[in-house]
Structure 1
Amino acid sequence: MDNKSLTLELFDLVNKRKYTSSDIAKIETLLKEGADVNYQEPEYPFETILYRVISSWKKEERLAIVKLLQSYNVDVNVECDIFLPIEHAAQKGDEKVVEFLLENGADEGFQATLKIAIEGEHIEIAKILIDTGINLDMHEGADVPFLNYCTEPYRIRDRKKEYDVVPGVTIAQFLIDRGANPNGLPNSSLTPLQNAVNNDFFELVELLFDNGIESIAEEDPILLMVQSVEMAKILLQKGANINVRSEKYRGSTPLISSISKENRSLIEFFIEEKANLYSVDNDGFTAFHRAVLLEDINLIKYLADYYDIKKCDEIYSLLSIVDSTWIKKIIEELLSDT
């Protein structure tokens, strides 16, 4: 049998998904007879023999086969289906294979692998990667802290299940213990706290405050990210500015943002907390204007009890932004009443 035939036989063999000791012996025989350990299929997803072993072999058997391939000089840095072998091993939660690859030539994809480990709450893998000297406050030269990825296990958690520790908290505490800054970097596009708030992740918010965040800066647009009244209350107690106006979000305010989200409970809460009703965004619109644009009749009528409609019209003509005949009639009635 020629080497090409041996290689294709090996390529098929390592993808069976169910193996016996005779299969392992056959793999070694094929390699000894000249099968190409670095064969890669020519079309997407460009699978390699190493990729197939990591994908299909059970964890308790996988390392032995990876070691066998390495003894025949398998290339551990060949990307397949956009993932490097070390990244794929992290997806499988296989810390032993991750460690072996690092010790045997893996020299790419460390930060991506750490991200995968965090999102999968694989603490042992995270530890191995952090020991390589990764900057935990900057992912791949960008301004994204690795703490931000701790929201992923929380986001995909089983919402019907009761947890002793909510997913995402343990890995976050681990990262902080290993030096991650709870505040992120000064130029972070989204701080760990903002990201936790955006995901309504109360336990992570509490953890971040317990580990170094003392208060919220007046200019921090964090209230634009809240999803619930309960979270908004916590942030206001920590100093969040209810009237913050953020250029990053086109001049939006917490109240305007809550209108855009169509979050009625937040809208009512911010109004009750005396948010500035007449602050305008970069389009010159107040929260009332945004409600008009939504064409939400019930919301418009609710807000009309708090707004001076004529003042809103002076800020920006209400009728000029109305398309609906019904909404136009309501606005005309409100203007005539004032």
Structure 2
Amino acid sequence: METKSHNNLQERPTPSSNGRASVEDNDLIKAVKDEDIERVKQLLKEGADVNFQEEEWGWSPLHNAAESGNGDIVDLLLNHGAKPCLRKKNGATPFIVAGIAENVMPLKLLLPKVADVNECDVNGFTAFMEAAVYGRVESLRFLYENGANVNLHRKAKQDQERIRKGGATALMDAAEKGHVEVVEILLHKMQADVNARDNMGRNALIYALLNSDIEKVKAVTRLLLGCNADVNVRGEGKKTPLILAVEKKNLDLVQMLLEQKHIEINDTDSEGRTALWSAVELNLKEIAQLLCHRGASTDCGDLVAIATRNYNPDLAKFLRQHGAVEAFRPPAEDWKPQSSRWGEALKHLHRIYRPMIGKLKIFIDEEYKVADTSEGGVYLGFYDDQEVAVKRFREGSPRGQKEVSCLQSNRANSNVVTFYGSESERGCLYVCLALCEHTLEKYLDDHRGEAVQDREDEFARNILSSLFKAVEELHLSGYTHQDLQPQNILIDSKNGACLADFDKSIKWTGDPQTIERDLKALGLLVLYVVNKGETSFEMLKDLSTEKLIQRSPDKETQDLIHHLFFPGNNVKDHLHGLLGHPFFWSWESRYRTLRDVGNESDIKTRNTNGKILQLLLPGPSEASTSFAQWTTKIDKFVMKKMNEFYKRGNVYQDTVGDLLKFIRNLGEHINEKKNKEMKSKIGEPSQYFQEKFPDLVMYVYMKLQNTEYKKHFPKTHNLNKPRCDGGGGGEQAGQP
């Protein structure tokens, strides 16, 4: 290993030696990525800069060769003067990057050229850590044999350390990724410290329990426990491995931990919850029984009430047999409501005495009335001390039965109003739901006329995204809503939305018309929301399909509504595909999609015979678009500046391909210091192109949606989100 000064080796990233990337420099990067060694030789002979670094992340040819594991190209570049310790923008050298490669040869070639086998990037990653993260066994062994520090803790940036980030070891990385063989080697061959802690105090056992693959979790946990890993360590929220194991809902994993000699079975997390509490809350009867048989204390909360709320009488009976009692909690003197809209009424209801109806405290009085309904109204209440909206039905009511049945089947649907439970007394059924602040109708009434910031309507997109997910999951659970309207969509204190009012819902029997009714109502709601409720929902229902589509303010809304009104044959799964529709893309995502498509090589090189450019050709009826003759619609200074990048007059042309290339290239250069004036003309590119060419995204989407190029589209929205369960009004939570 060379012994020259380490400081001299730590080169910072520079675009190229002459300050400007040549075509040959970029071609060299591409040839290395393609592992075309003959082309690499040719470009080096022609004078390509062997130490050129691409601007965005600082990757050099040697970085790319090291990552790919191509030892021949690594050797060739080194022989032509490639700097072995050139750093990317994140501080990673080619040697560190080589730890990712499956082939160990780049490490062998680079090791003599670096000052320290334990050199790290700005985030503290070494080549040894990278090998552990990616499960590269041979690289791990090679680095260990050449002096890699197995137990080195990751040194985080100073601002990260202040919030206790960093400090992980290779063993923690391998445990989290579920690399069983790597964990075994680290523990048994390399003497990794099984109880090393990161800056948050977590050990490898906590990391292992973060993995989603339960079989890998069990295998890694078994190895760690076999080496006496501390089972009472704490993770985020001060959760112990036992609590995390319960949350994995795996009996074998819990059993494995309970067999450890020094396990503290009654340890609590930051919320005061034990493993047994978590098991009861998650309705895990077998795990709860196992914990009790192993000595878990039942004096850790109102376990019987939780089991009862989960409709598990057997578990409630078992808990009582093991000493659990229903706790009495007197009202706190300094109690404050969560809801702002209903706060004063809640304070009064909390203070006064009312006989309990099971776990429900309620007073049927106008002071506490939230809304009228077709049967018994909606009132404020407390269910198990939780602020709730209580919807009343007569006992045995078909509507009430439908409401409870549907809510029970959709407890896991995070976009449906949270159902806490129900109680019955004196011929009445009380259905207890999350208390929200407003209905969608009331919210839009209150905010009508407010300008949309930057003209991008994030509220509409987020509300409708939540609504689509709610209805999609409802359909997948075997129900249809049959009463989708603004009064039945609730808005919480954080402007989150959830679906409510299921007393007209029905189980789906295969009749497509019931789902089609929901889809048609969704189409009306899309128009209602994007137009801020200016046309009432009832008036929209009276319009023809043609007139409704004509009222769409943009191509995205028009196409989305068309899909809802004409869903085709597979109606049950129809909404899943629509969640990836451009309507739900942010302007930034739309802009990023256009840039990514414009980065296709056939577009950049104007290969008119290329598949993507053929796909993007307009049809006979598509000449009238906002981007026809687009070069005349771009700011003249910006157009001139961008054309100067081309030599010999090879300027941008009025084609869709060139527009996408223009968007891609402008995105690459807009933030450079030399382009400040261009930036001032354009402003925010995502907004500029959305407003300048409002139909471009839909055009590209329609052309590419069923092709391989849909890989550039944003991923469908995650179906999970925090429950809409706090901050004000239930079913008709707007105004009475």
- Asked if Structure 1 and Structure 2 have the same fold, meaning a TM-score greater than 0.5 normalized by the shorter chain, the answer is yes
Q: Deviations over 1:130-183 (max 9, x none)?
A: 4445251633375434322223453xxxxxxxxxxxx42344333442221223
CA distance in 2, matches of 1:58, 1:90: 9
CA distance in 2, matches of 1:215, 1:81: 34
CA distance in 1, matches of 2:261, 2:324: 33
Q: Deviations over 1:296-324 (max 9, x none)?
A: 5424x454324569943414776322526
3-state SS of the aligned residue for 2:220?
Answer: helix
Question: What is the aligned counterpart of 2:88 among 61, 79, 86?
Answer: 79
Matched, 1:232 2:251: no
Q: Are the equivalent residues in 2 in contact too, given 1:95–1:124 (CA < 8 A)?
A: yes
Matched, 1:320 2:320: no
Which amino acid counterpart does residue 13 of structure 1 have in structure 2?
L
* Match of residue 127 from structure 1: 141
CA distance in 2, matches of 1:313, 1:93: 58
Please, which runs of 5 or more residues in structure 1 have no aligned partner? Answer: 155-166, 281-285, 334-338
3-state SS of the aligned residue for 2:46?
Answer: helix
Which amino acid counterpart does residue 106 of structure 2 have in structure 1?
V
CA distance in 1, matches of 2:254, 2:94: 43
| Alpha-carbon distance change, 241 to 297 in structure 1, aligned in 2, over 3 angstroms | same
CA distance in 1, matches of 2:324, 2:387: 15
CA distance in 2, matches of 1:193, 1:331: 46
Which amino acid counterpart does residue 208 of structure 1 have in structure 2?
L
* Match of residue 279 from structure 2: 258
Q: Deviations over 1:71-130 (max 9, x none)?
A: 424252321577542333222233221243332136542751322201222233223444
Q: Are the equivalent residues in 1 in contact too, given 2:99–2:139 (CA < 8 A)?
A: yes
Aligned pairs for 1:289-304 (under 5 A) are: 297-299=310-312, 301-304=313-316
Q: Are the equivalent residues in 2 in contact too, given 1:76–1:85 (CA < 8 A)?
A: yes
More strand by share: 2
Which amino acid counterpart does residue 233 of structure 1 have in structure 2?
Q
Which amino acid counterpart does residue 54 of structure 2 have in structure 1?
E
CA drift at 1:229: 1.2
Question: What is the aligned counterpart of 2:205 among 177, 190, 193?
Answer: 193
CA drift at 1:224: 1.0
Which amino acid counterpart does residue 182 of structure 1 have in structure 2?
V
Q: Are the equivalent residues in 2 in contact too, given 1:193–1:205 (CA < 8 A)?
A: yes
| Alpha-carbon distance change, 83 to 196 in structure 1, aligned in 2, over 3 angstroms | same
* Match of residue 687 from structure 2: none
CA distance in 2, matches of 1:209, 1:328: 40
Matched, 1:139 2:160: no
Q: Which has the higher contact order (CA 8 A, sep 6+)?
A: 2
Aligned pairs for 1:273-312 (under 5 A) are: 273-280=294-301, 286-287=302-303, 297-299=310-312, 301-307=313-319, 311-312=325-326
* Match of residue 77 from structure 2: 66
| Alpha-carbon distance change, 196 to 36 in structure 1, aligned in 2, over 3 angstroms | closer
Please, which runs of 5 or more residues in structure 2 have no aligned partner? Answer: 1-17, 157-165, 332-358, 360-383, 391-418, 427-736
| Alpha-carbon distance change, 83 to 304 in structure 1, aligned in 2, over 3 angstroms | same
| Alpha-carbon distance change, 245 to 208 in structure 1, aligned in 2, over 3 angstroms | closer
Matched, 1:246 2:268: yes
CA distance in 2, matches of 1:53, 1:259: 53
Question: What is the aligned counterpart of 2:99 among 86, 90, 108?
Answer: 90
Question: In terms of Rg, which structure is larger?
Answer: 2
Question: What is the aligned counterpart of 1:169 among 174, 181, 190?
Answer: 181
3-state SS of the aligned residue for 2:272?
Answer: coil
Q: Give the fraction of aligned pairs with identical amino acids, expressed as a percent.
A: 15
CA drift at 1:23: 1.6
3-state SS of the aligned residue for 1:14?
Answer: helix
* Match of residue 39 from structure 1: 52
3-state SS of the aligned residue for 2:99?
Answer: helix
Q: Deviations over 1:228-264 (max 9, x none)?
A: 21122222222254642235x3322111233455655
Q: Are the equivalent residues in 1 in contact too, given 2:35–2:70 (CA < 8 A)?
A: no
CA distance in 2, matches of 1:186, 1:45: 28
| Alpha-carbon distance change, 51 to 289 in structure 1, aligned in 2, over 3 angstroms | farther
CA distance in 2, matches of 1:291, 1:324: 22
More helix by share: 1
3-state SS of the aligned residue for 1:312?
Answer: coil
* Match of residue 11 from structure 1: 26
| Alpha-carbon distance change, 264 to 106 in structure 1, aligned in 2, over 3 angstroms | farther
3-state SS of the aligned residue for 2:41?
Answer: helix
| Alpha-carbon distance change, 328 to 58 in structure 1, aligned in 2, over 3 angstroms | closer
Question: What is the aligned counterpart of 1:117 among 122, 125, 131?
Answer: 131
- RMSD of Structure 2 on Structure 1 (CA): 4.1
Q: Are the equivalent residues in 1 in contact too, given 2:151–2:170 (CA < 8 A)?
A: yes
Q: Deviations over 1:198-217 (max 9, x none)?
A: 54533333333443x18856
Which amino acid counterpart does residue 90 of structure 1 have in structure 2?
G
* Match of residue 150 from structure 1: 174
Matched, 1:205 2:257: no
3-state SS of the aligned residue for 1:91?
Answer: coil
TM (norm. structure 1) is 0.69
CA distance in 1, matches of 2:28, 2:284: 55
| Alpha-carbon distance change, 191 to 91 in structure 1, aligned in 2, over 3 angstroms | same
